[in-house]
Amino acid sequence: MRVCILGGGTAGWMTAAALSKKLKNVVKSIALVESEAIGTIGVGEATLPHIRFFNEGLGIDEAAFMQETNATFKLGIEFCDWGAIGDRYVHPFGDFGQTINDLAFYQHLLKLRKQGDYGVLNDYAFGIVAAKNDKFQFPHQGKTDLQRAFGYAYQFDAGLYAKFLRRFCETNGVRRIEGKVVDTLLDSGSGNVTSITLDDGQQIYADIFIDCSGFRGVLIEQALKSGYQDWSKWLPCNRAVAVPCERNGDLSPYTRATARKAGWQWRIPLQHRTGNGLVYWDEFMSDDEASSVLLNNLDGPALDEPKQLFFKTGRRNHFWKNNVVAIGLAGGFLEPLESTSIHLIQEGITNLLELFPHDTNSELDSAEYNSRMALQFERVRDFLLLHYVATKRDDSEMWRYFSNMTLPDSLQEKIDMWLHRGYVQRYQFGAFLPPSWVAVMMGQNLLPKHYDPRVDNSNFEQVKHQSQVMRADIAAGVSSAKTQADFLSAMGAASNAEILRAK
Ligand SMILES: Cc1cc2nc3c(=O)[nH]c(=O)nc-3n(C[C@H](O)[C@H](O)[C@H](O)COP(=O)(O)OP(=O)(O)OC[C@H]3O[C@@H](n4cnc5c(N)ncnc54)[C@H](O)[C@@H]3O)c2cc1C
Confidence of residue 231 (pLDDT cuts 50, 70, 90): very high
What is the spatial distance between Cα 264 and Cα 294, in angstroms, rounded to a whole number?
10
Claim: this prediction has a pTM higher than 0.95: yes
pLDDT band at 495 (very low <50, low <70, confident <90, very high): confident
Cβ–ligand 1 distance for 34 under 6 Å, the answer yes
Q: Tell me, what's the pLDDT at 308?
A: 97
Ramachandran class of 45: left when φ > 0, alpha when ψ lies in -120 to 50, beta otherwise: alpha
132 is catalytic: no
Q: What is the mean pLDDT of the chain?
A: 96
Residue 54 identity: F
Any ligand 1 atom below 6 A from CB of 10: yes
C-alpha 330 – ligand 1 centre gap (Å): 8
Cβ–Cβ < 8 Å for 284, 291:
no
* Section 322-349 average pLDDT: 98
Closest CA to 112 of 474, 447, 390, 455: 455
> What is the share, in percent, of the chain residues with pLDDT greater than 70?
100
Cα angle value 75/336/267 (rounded, 5°): 55
User: What separation in Å is there between the alpha carbon of 233 and the centre of ligand 1?
Assistant: 23
Q: Determine the Cα–Cα distance for residues 311 and 279; give it in Å rounded to an integer.
A: 10
Mean per-residue pLDDT, 144-148 = 97
**pLDDT tens by residue, 293-327:** 999 999 999 999 999 999 999 999 999 999 999 99
Q: CB neighbours (10 Å) of residue 419?
A: 15
Q: What letters, b where the CB count within 10 A reaches 16 and e where it falls short, cover 225-258?
A: ebeeeebeebbbbbbbbbbbbebeebbbbbbbbb
The helix/strand/coil state of 3 is strand
CA 9 to centroid of ligand 1, rounded, Å: 5
The predicted model gives 204-229 an average pLDDT of 98
Q: Would the CA dihedral through 478, 299, 46, 398 be positive or negative?
A: positive
User: pLDDT at position 200, please?
Assistant: 97
Q: How confident is the model at residue 502 (pLDDT cuts 50, 70, 90)?
A: low
Whether residue 167 has pLDDT greater than 70:
yes
Please indicate whether residue 391, judged by its CB atom, sits closer than 6 Å to ligand 1. Answer: no
CA dihedral angle for residue 178, residue 180, residue 183, residue 185, rounded to 10 degrees: 30
Query: Is the beta carbon of 7 within 6 A of some atom in ligand 1?
Result: yes
Contact 310, 287 (CB under 8 A): no
CA of 218 to the centre of ligand 1 (A): 13
pLDDT of residue 8: 98
In the predicted model, is pLDDT for residue 348 greater than 70? yes
Confidence of residue 503 (pLDDT cuts 50, 70, 90): low
DSSP helix/strand/coil, 364: helix
d(CA 110, CA 411) in angstroms, rounded, equals: 22
Alpha-carbon distance 103 to 186, whole Å?
57
Rounded-to-integer distance, Cα 254 and Cα 49, Å? 12
Q: What is the pLDDT of residues 12-55, one digit of tens each?
A: 999 999 999 999 999 999 999 999 999 999 998 999 999 999 99
Is 237's pLDDT higher than 80?
yes
Pocket test for ligand 1, best of 43, 184, 256 (most atoms within 8 A of CB): 43
Q: Quick check: CB of 275 below 6 Å from ligand 1?
A: no
Beta-carbon count within 10 A of 501 CB: 11
